[in-house]
């Protein structure tokens, strides 16, 4: 990357875990009835052939990390665990009633919040409750996010015995000054302990999350974090830019001043340094911000073109349908999106009324589905094409015109019926997707909704 290109393309833009992006959902025409209709259609098309994905949002954390943009509830009262599990299982039962038959679960992910806030016994009750009315699909992949400070060997063993083989640990940065700024104090020894324990138990994929662009962070800090990461050699890594959106997340990202954040030039150096160091020790860039060893299922998915992206991030296999359970979770039927109530009290109230706790969503039009396929191709494979008539759309010439400047800068290659993101263009893949984003092109947001693209 060069300063010239960064200054040119470092604009606010979506991360494209979905299309349309959440701010552009047509909530006015959305109804739960339409959502359920699309859900049943998708389930009928895909359940037996590929299974479904299930995301469980476990929102509780004992302390607030000031870099975090997730929906969470800060508490040290662990008596909240059992009631939350009861409600999440009730929501699951309501969905299974709508679907009409037992789902085959291909992917299951526990996210948060802090899933390891919950005791091993309660996590076991949760997963057993899920599978009391569902079956495991063949070649299933179950994963969870663990906090290095509170993940115990009992957590790892309990979830392993329930079929989990992948675990992700949030590292962020090992420097003490940075950790204090983001209120996430965790020594290297804790990460080392849980990584080694996971491998002893039998997990086949251990992942670490590393962030650049954090307050007070320097290139030396990133280099030291990656040096320590090399000692542990996780199977995959997320190495991504801190998304500073305090105007959306409120006090959660106000634990430091804007002036404490690295400059754009420093962020560029942090990224390039990190990427080079990761490549030197065998990590291959997979999609946007993700790296994997060639032995990991995420790398193998890129080789077979099976890599997929949804609200859980990058996954090693595609499922047409993903149901999100828990407060604020987002579900995806392919034909529509639906988000649960964001406040815990509202989530409980809706379930007490025997209602699926959705409060907004979007039903995809034919145009949405076409653009969604292009953006998914770009995010997962760094290329897309319109050789098939079903992938053509009337605004395509305008999109290609917008992309011309990126080609002139060597970031993409435009062919007769396809485009390909170059190696130099990979950090700018969000900018490429923005050219395809017809809703964004038609109406730019009045205020900043998204983090910066670079």
87 with 8, same domain? no
pLDDT for 445: 75
Is residue 113 a known part of a binding site?
A: yes
**Residue 209 among known ligand-binding residues:** yes
Residues 397 and 346 occupy one common structural domain: no
Last residue of a domain, one of 318, 341, 363: 363
**55 known member of a binding site:** yes
Whether residue 216 is found in the same domain as residue 319: yes
357 and 229 part of one domain: yes
Domain around 412: 1-20+365-454
pLDDT of residue 386: 95
The verdict on 270 and 409 lying in the same domain is no
Tokens (6 digits) for 406: 């990126």
Rg (CA), the chain: 21
Known binding residue 65? Answer is yes
| Three-state secondary structure call for residue 404 | helix
Is 61 labelled as part of a ligand binding site? Answer: yes
- Do both 280 and 369 map to the same domain? no
- Assign 132 to helix, strand or coil: coil
The pLDDT value recorded for residue 253 is: 47
**CA–CA distance, 352 with 94 (Å, rounded to integer):** 12
Question: Are residues 334 and 426 part of one domain?
Answer: no
Q: What is the CATH number of the domain that holds 432?
A: 1.10.10.920
Residues 290 and 170 in one domain: yes
pLDDT less than 50: residues of the chain: 247-251, 253
Q: pLDDT by residue (tens digit) across 114-132?
A: 999 999 999 999 999 999 9
Domain harbouring 265, CATH code: 3.80.30.20
> Residues 295, 375: one domain?
no
Short-list 190, 224, 194, CA closest to 206 = 194
Q: How many domains does the chain have?
A: 2
How far is 208 from 235, CA to CA, in rounded Å?
Answer: 8
Three-state DSSP class for 211? strand
Q: 173 with 214, same domain?
A: yes
Q: From the centroid of its chain, how far is CA 173?
A: 19
Q: Is 428 annotated as a binding residue?
A: no
The answer on 401 and 307 residing in a single domain is no
Judge whether 313 is annotated as a binding position.
Answer: no
Residue 253 has phi, psi (to 5 degrees) of -120, 30
pLDDT at residue 247, as a whole number: 44
Q: Does 13 show up as a binding residue in the annotation? A: no
Which of 363, 395, 428 marks a domain boundary?
Answer: 363
Q: What is the pLDDT of residues 177-208, one digit of tens each?
A: 999 999 999 999 999 999 999 999 999 999 99
68 marked as binding residue: yes
Residues 217 and 278 grouped into a single domain: yes
> Which residues sit opposite 339 in a β-bridge?
330, 360
Q: What is the token pair recorded at 430?
A: 């969000």
Residue 111 in marked binding region: no
Task: Please report the pLDDT score of residue 211 as a whole number.
Answer: 94
Helix (H, G, I), strand (E, B) or coil at 359: strand
């Amino acid at each position: 990357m060069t300063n010239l290109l960064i200054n040119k393309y470092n604009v606010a833009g979506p991360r494209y875990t979905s299309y349309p992006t959440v701010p552009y959902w047509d909530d006015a025409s959305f109804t739960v009835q339409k959502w359920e209709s699309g859900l049943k259609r998708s389930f009928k098309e895909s359940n037996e052939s590929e299974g479904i994905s299930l995301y469980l949002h476990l929102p509780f954390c004992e302390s607030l990390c000031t870099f975090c943009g997730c929906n969470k509830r800060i508490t040290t009262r662990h008596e909240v665990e059992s009631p939350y599990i009861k409600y999440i299982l009730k929501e699951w039962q309501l969905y299974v009633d709508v679907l009409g038959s037992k789902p085959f679960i291909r992917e299951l992910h526990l996210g948060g919040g802090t899933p390891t806030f919950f005791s091993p016994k309660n996590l076991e009750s949760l997963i057993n409750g899920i599978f009391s009315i569902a079956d495991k699909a063949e070649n299933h992949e179950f994963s969870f996010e663990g906090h290095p400070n509170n993940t115990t060997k009992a957590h790892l063993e309990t979830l392993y015995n329930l079929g989990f083989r992948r675990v992700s640990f949030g590292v962020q940065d090992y420097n003490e000054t940075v950790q204090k700024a983001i209120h996430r104090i965790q020594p290297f020894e804790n990460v080392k302990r849980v990584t080694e324990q996971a491998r002893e138990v039998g997990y086949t994929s251990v992942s670490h999350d590393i962030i650049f662009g954090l307050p007070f962070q320097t290139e030396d800090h990133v280099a030291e974090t990656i040096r320590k990461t090399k000692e542990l050699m996780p199977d995959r890594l997320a190495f991504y830019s801190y998304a500073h959106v305090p105007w959306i997340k409120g006090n959660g990202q106000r634990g430091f001043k804007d002036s404490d954040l690295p400059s754009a030039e420093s962020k560029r150096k942090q990224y390039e340094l990190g990427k080079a160091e990761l490549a030197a020790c065998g990590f291959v860039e997979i999609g946007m911000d993700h790296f994997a060893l060639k032995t990991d299922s995420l790398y193998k998915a890129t080789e077979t073109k099976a890599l997929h992206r949804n609200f859980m991030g990058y996954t090693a296999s595609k499922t047409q349908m993903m149901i999100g359970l828990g407060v604020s979770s987002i579900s995806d039927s392919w034909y529509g999106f639906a988000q649960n109530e964001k406040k815990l009290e509202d989530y409980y109230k809706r379930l007490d009324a025997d209602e699926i706790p959705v409060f907004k969503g979007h039903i995809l039009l034919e145009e949405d589905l076409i653009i969604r396929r292009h953006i998914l191709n770009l995010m997962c494979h760094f290329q897309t094409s319109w050789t098939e008539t079903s992938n053509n759309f009337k605004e395509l010439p305008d999109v290609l015109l917008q992309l011309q400047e990126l080609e002139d800068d060597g970031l993409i290659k435009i062919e007769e019926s396809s485009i390909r993101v170059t190696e130099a263009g990979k950090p700018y893949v969000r900018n490429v997707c923005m050219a395809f984003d017809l809703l964004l092109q038609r109406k730019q947001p009045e205020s900043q909704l998204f983090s910066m693209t670079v």
